[in-house]
Amino acid sequence: MSDGAELPDVSVLVSRLHSLSCAQSLNFREKCPLSMDDPRASLIAKIEETQLPRRLVFTNDRAGKISFFVNGGRLLGVEYFTSLGKTRFYKPSGTGDPRRVVCTEPVAEALERFFRKANQPTVRSYRFDPNELQDDEECDPPAILDISRVLSEADAIPLSPLAAFSDQCRVLAEALVVLKDGEFQVLWGDPGLLEPLKSLAMEEGAKHIEQTRIVSEDMPETACAIYSGHPSGGRSVFCATQSGAILLALCPYEKSTELITLWQSHLAKLPEASL
Q: Is residue 95 a contact residue for other proteins (CB under 8 A)?
A: no
- Among 197, 245, 247, 262, contact with other proteins (rule: CB under 8 A): 197
Q: Is residue 170 a contact residue for other proteins (CB under 8 A)?
A: no
Each residue 104-143 as x (binds other proteins by CB under 8 A) or -, in order, gives ----------------------------------------
Q: Is residue 8 a contact residue for other proteins (CB under 8 A)?
A: no
Q: How far apart are CA 214 and CA 164, in angstroms?
A: 28
Determine the interface stretch with other proteins among 11-19, 43-51, 154-162, 195-203 (rule: CB under 8 A).
195-203
Q: How many residues does the chain have?
A: 275
3-class DSSP state of 37: coil
Q: Is residue 192 a contact residue for other proteins (CB under 8 A)?
A: no
Phi first, then psi: what are they for 266, rounded to 5°? Answer: -65, -45
Question: Least distance in Å: CB of 20 to other proteins?
Answer: 30
- Residue whose CB is less far from other proteins, 180 or 235: 235
Q: Is residue 59 a contact residue for other proteins (CB under 8 A)?
A: no
- Residue whose CB is less far from other proteins, 34 or 194: 194
Q: How far apart are CA 242 and CA 222, in angstroms?
A: 4
Residues numbered 215 to 254 that lie near other proteins (CB under 8 A) are: 220, 222-237, 250
Q: Is residue 182 a contact residue for other proteins (CB under 8 A)?
A: no
Q: How far apart are CA 101 and CA 95, in angstroms?
A: 9
Q: How far apart are CA 12 and CA 234, in angstroms?
A: 44
176 close to 164: Cβ distance less than 8 angstroms: no
List, in order, residues 6 or more apart from 12 with CB less than 8 Å away. none
- Residue whose CB is less far from other proteins, 72 or 196: 196
Q: How far apart are CA 248 and CA 260, in angstroms?
A: 13
Distances (CA, A) of 144 to 2, 117, 151, 234: 51, 25, 11, 25
Q: Is residue 47 a contact residue for other proteins (CB under 8 A)?
A: no
Binding site for other proteins (CB under 8 A): 193, 196-197, 199-200, 203, 220, 222-237, 250, 256-257, 260-261, 263-264, 267, 275
